[in-house]
Amino acid sequence: MTGDLATNSTRPGVLVTGGAKRIGARIVKGFARAGWHVTIHCNSSREEADRLAASLPHASVVTCDLADGDAAVAMIEELAETIRNWRVLVNCAGLFERDLATGLDPRTFGRAMQVNAAAPARMAQAFLARARADGGRRVIHLTDQKLANPNPDFFSYTMSKHALASTVRMLAMAQDDPRDRVYGLAPGAILASHDQTEEETERSHRLNLLERKTGADEIADAALFLAGGWLASGKTMFVDSGQHLLSQPRDVLYLARQ
């Protein structure tokens, strides 16, 4: 783990894993606009993370491969010593790799379970054990609308998100301080996936009850809302324009190609 860690500011702090690109970057920008000090975690996207941090008033960068669970915990423990008012951990980093319910790929499964489930669960435990914060701490796990609307595609990914989702209530129940909160945030189709064309993205992202595209900024706004601790701990918020209320036989990436 490497990075620029120090922040003695009393302003609230947030760590966003996978914060250099895509939805993670939108969440970073949302917290920054709201006046938070944002720590941007990345693995191989250090250049993008540094560029994003330089564009924000209060930001720093840490680098860690979440495939190394011990390194991920060490990162949290080091940050807990350096961030004065660390209010929120947003576990956004994840792997979205192809395999099927008819043929689990062992390597894909192992990577997905480690990066998408085991590492964020261990980081949440370390954060709740070590972080100092004014007014309680918040863990926000990004899961997926596939929790309620599963399909046979991206089999290992979906299993890993179900595993991560199962930790939300358990971690919430384990906390002694009633000010602490643990939440799930379940997006639907937000940004282009894999080799989607612009036309396919536009079509697939409207395959929900409202027939509208859910914006990445809506996920950022939801994360900020959860950071306030307004919901009871252990709850999951779906932000997907109603996609999770449907029954879809395949991932929308493929439905858009039919």
CATH of the domain at 234: 3.40.50.720
Task: Give the pLDDT confidence score for residue 3 in this predicted structure.
Answer: 46
In a domain, 102, yes or no: yes
Tell me whether residue 105 is in a domain: yes
Confirm whether 136 is domain-assigned: yes
Report the mean per-residue pLDDT for the chain.
94
CA 124 vs CA 14, 43, 112, 182: distances in Å: 13, 18, 17, 9
Q: How far apart are CA 152 and CA 98, in angstroms?
A: 11
Answer for the pair 210, 188: CB distance below 8 angstroms, yes or no: no
How many distinct structural domains can be found in the chain?
1
pLDDT value at position 6? 46
Residue 85: per-residue pLDDT: 97
| H-assigned helices in the chain | 22-33, 46-54, 69-82, 106-112, 119-130, 155-173, 198-204, 216-227, 252-255
Asked whether residue 64 is assigned to any structural domain, the reply reads yes
Which tens digits make up the pLDDT trace of 97-139? 999 999 999 999 999 999 999 999 999 999 999 999 998 999 9
From the list 217, 215, 207, 212, the residue with the least C-alpha distance to 245 is: 207
Query: What pLDDT sits at residue 27?
Result: 98
How far, in Å, are 48, 80, 180 from residue 51 at the CA level?
Answer: 5, 24, 32
CA distance 189 to 206: 9
Is 1 contained in some domain?
no
User: By residue range, what is the domain housing residue 158?
Assistant: 7-255
Look at residue 8 in the predicted model and tell me its pLDDT. Answer: 56
- pLDDT of 9 above 90: no
**pTM for the structure as a whole:** 0.95
